[in-house]
Structure 1
Amino acid sequence: MSSSYIDNYYSRTLATDEIYPVAEGKIRVDICIVGGGLAGLTAALHLARSGRSVALVEAHRVAWGASGRNGGFVSAGYATGLSRIERSVGPHQARELFHLSMEGVEIIRRKILDLGITEAQPSPGIVKAVRYNSRGALKVNHDKQAHAFGLKLRYVPKDEMAALFASSKYHEGIFDEDAFHFHPLNYARGLARAATGHGARIFENSTVVAVDIEGARKYIRTPRSEIEAEQVLFTTGGYTGEVMPALRKAYLPIATYVLLTEAAPDLVRGAIRTSAAILDDRRAGDYYRLVDNGSRILWGGRITTRTSDPRNIATLLRREMVGTYPQLSTLKVDIAWSGLMSYARHLMPQIGQFKPGVWYCTAFGGHGMNTTAIGGTVVAEGMARESDRYRLFAPFGLAWNGGIFGKAAAQLTYWSYQAADAMREARTF
């Protein structure tokens, strides 16, 4: 039986639903891509355009995992901060990496326009909302970043925050005018159409069960096919299985949760008075935006290392929403869902060559939209011998995730963030 998308806002609002075949028989190509999320689709399109024969195999549907279930936020940066990147690689390489993240935003913006993916519904602006008084530090830090990288960042004082968001929680914010939010599943499916239009072959419901990647020719096997390729690229994210143990042991699967409210235009717009998306600046914060012409809220937040869904996803998230906007206490939840992200312990994407002809491009948790775009692009450039920009990510390799101790540490870290956030906010009042 073929798998389908889990029930969520994006699967309910698909513009089109092309079905790609199951991989069958012997298939010979230049490049095989394992994983049909945004990174894999971006790479497939780039490689097909460059004249390579490409087969992409996906265990479920195109963008079935986190690529098609996330908040839809597209902005520059990584899951870790610029200062931490500088400590790892120095200021010069850190600047190059940040510029790549900015390029990732523009890649998505440009592809939506050039490929005519209007169903991605891009909407401009993301506000980083702060729940404490930074006493001028927020404005100073972001003015420096805007000057250093040419970002269009605008400081939002408390009175303007109150005009945009009818919540007593927010003290100030930063409006990122270069950022935008969109429908990631429709975008991913637009990439898939473009890739097949350039000759790439996409196979859905084709789980990879074994690989032989030791020789000059690589063999990727699914239940009903054997794919022979010169090169193979793994872009499997939080759903990586055991066929690539080195990759599976190098990231932590982290679950995040999202809800969609019922349609209540007057109630919703009375609380959130902007079409810009909102990113709560807490280290253990929330993110949300209006959808369906401002009649509903798509609210995401909370992370956990458990890979099974708790029964009360909607209750947990709704508590956060009503805690921020008490006037939404009567607003009901329509549906809630989760998705698995992949995080490396260093909180940077893992992009590179494992051995000759074997590549990886994963660990995009926390900032996946722009980083999947640039990741898929630079790894494709490397595979096509067009550039070696992927080497900028070499210092952030396949470090061991720590196993069960790593998962425990990640969960404890998240809880400590929640406690620190609460203490910082308490000092403000």
Structure 2
Amino acid sequence: MAQSPPMDVAVVGLGATGLAAVLEARRRGATVAAYDSGRLGGGATGRNAGFLLAGTADFYHRRRDRELYGLTLDEMDRMMAETPTVISRTGSVRRPRSLEEHEDCAAHYQALRDDGFPAELERDGSMIVPTDGSFHPLARASLLAAAARDNEAVLVENHLVDNFDALEADRVIVAVDGGLERVLPELTGRVRTARLQMLATARTDEVRIGRPVYSRYGYDYWQQLPDGRVVVGGCRDQFPDQSWTTASRPTQAVQAALDCLLREDVGVRNAPVTHRWAGTSSYTDDRRPVCEEIRPNVVAVGAFCGHGNVIASMAGRAAVELALDGRSPLAVALTE
């Protein structure tokens, strides 16, 4: 690879977070080079279910969540304006599976309504959030990358960065979700990585699923794509020994559980499964993402606890604020 000229900012990771950081840094006039050990969007960005959900990894129950929930709604509007062709604001469905979850879903609904946010409670106890939606994560990443290149950012795929000092940049932003604690070992014990698994079917008219659905407190989730295929993910909590790992190959046990979910709960009885895959995402014990200066002139951002499709864009911009300004009110809102 030809040596790049010295940059104001180097970004490690070309997923949703890294691309948001690249675009924000260029908006502010900084020169930027970004690197990924694999392909553009090849990590969590390109392997997730494409849910566009307001809020954080924790369901909305506390009044102090109001500001952050509102910020995520604003972010979804921003994302829609950036890439309208790959986003659908259909709403989402939270479908409870137990008496306890029915009660939690009702409390979730009431908390949203009390704070003035739209939500609908169905007769079966399911809750619709009409402001949510879905999108094509990899298509969006491709559009953002094209915009970044058009704005003179340098994007380098298939280039492993194992020495930040070699990047020749004034500031480094490590925008990695899955495996963040491996890239920055000082986060070991605070951040750990989970393997998330999914499958997809052939096109089917057995079901009509108009909105993305999540159940069992978000451990199970599914949606029907515009072309009629159904994608299903989850079940990792049933196999913790297979889930807390940085490995990204699907496993037989979890895939068998996903088959049961597909056939018995989603209602797809006959359509064949055509694809099976896994990706990784990092988690923290307090369910708050990481967005902070972790070493001198090195900002870490990630650990979105499986809920990064909206938060990641916000966190990427917050990381640029930290790198260039030394402070970020948005980072505080996301992490405290």
Q: Same fold (TM over 0.5)?
A: yes
Q: Measure the CA separation in 2 of the matches of 1:390 and 1:141.
A: 25
| Residues 151, 178 of structure 1: 8 Å contact kept | no
Aligned match of 1:319: 260
Using structure 1 for the length normalisation, give the TM-score: 0.70
Q: Measure the CA separation in 2 of the matches of 1:290 and 1:127.
A: 13
Gaps of 5+ in 2: 237-242
Say whether 1:289 aligns with 2:184: no
| Residues 352, 359 of structure 1: 8 Å contact kept | yes
Letter of the structure 1 residue corresponding to residue 45 of structure 2: S
Aligned match of 1:305: 244
Give the 3-state SS of the residue equivalent to 1:237 in structure 2.
coil
* C-alpha deviation, 1:121, in angstroms: 4.5
The equivalences for 1:177-326 within 5 A come to 177-211=130-164, 219-220=165-166, 227-240=167-180, 242-265=182-205, 267=206, 269=207, 273-280=208-215, 282-283=216-217, 285-293=219-227, 295-303=228-236, 304-308=243-247, 309=249, 310-311=251-252, 313-325=254-266
Q: Measure the CA separation in 1 of the matches of 2:226 and 2:67.
A: 37
Identity value in percent: 24
Say whether 1:392 aligns with 2:326: no
Give the 3-state SS of the residue equivalent to 1:276 in structure 2.
coil
- 4+ residue runs over 4 A deviation: 133-137
Change (3 A) 1:62 1:261: same
The partner residue of 1:129 within 55, 71, 95 is 95
Aligned match of 2:122: 156
Count of residue pairs brought into register by the alignment: 326
Change (3 A) 1:68 1:41: same
Change (3 A) 1:49 1:210: same
Letter of the structure 2 residue corresponding to residue 101 of structure 1: T
Give the 3-state SS of the residue equivalent to 1:275 in structure 2.
coil
The partner residue of 2:311 within 368, 371, 384 is 371
Letter of the structure 2 residue corresponding to residue 380 of structure 1: V
| Residues 352, 391 of structure 1: 8 Å contact kept | no
Aligned match of 1:112: 83
Change (3 A) 1:174 1:394: closer
| Residues 351, 362 of structure 1: 8 Å contact kept | yes
* C-alpha deviation, 1:313, in angstroms: 4.8
Give the 3-state SS of the residue equivalent to 1:41 in structure 2.
helix
Over the residues paired in the alignment, what is the CA RMSD in angstroms? 2.4
The one-character-per-residue Cα deviations of 1:18-48 (angstroms, maximum 9, x if unpaired) are: xxxxx43253100000111101101111111
Change (3 A) 1:137 1:284: closer
Q: Measure the CA separation in 1 of the matches of 2:188 and 2:78.
A: 28
Using structure 2 for the length normalisation, give the TM-score: 0.88
* C-alpha deviation, 1:356, in angstroms: 4.1
Aligned match of 1:427: none
Give the 3-state SS of the residue equivalent to 2:235 in structure 1.
strand
Letter of the structure 2 residue corresponding to residue 152 of structure 1: P
The partner residue of 2:35 within 46, 50, 57 is 57
Give the 3-state SS of the residue equivalent to 1:389 in structure 2.
helix
| Residues 122, 183 of structure 1: 8 Å contact kept | no
Gaps of 5+ in 1: 1-22, 159-171, 212-218, 221-226, 396-429
| Residues 352, 394 of structure 1: 8 Å contact kept | no
The equivalences for 1:338-377 within 5 A come to 338-377=278-317
Say whether 1:146 aligns with 2:81: no
Q: Measure the CA separation in 2 of the matches of 1:347 and 1:96.
A: 17
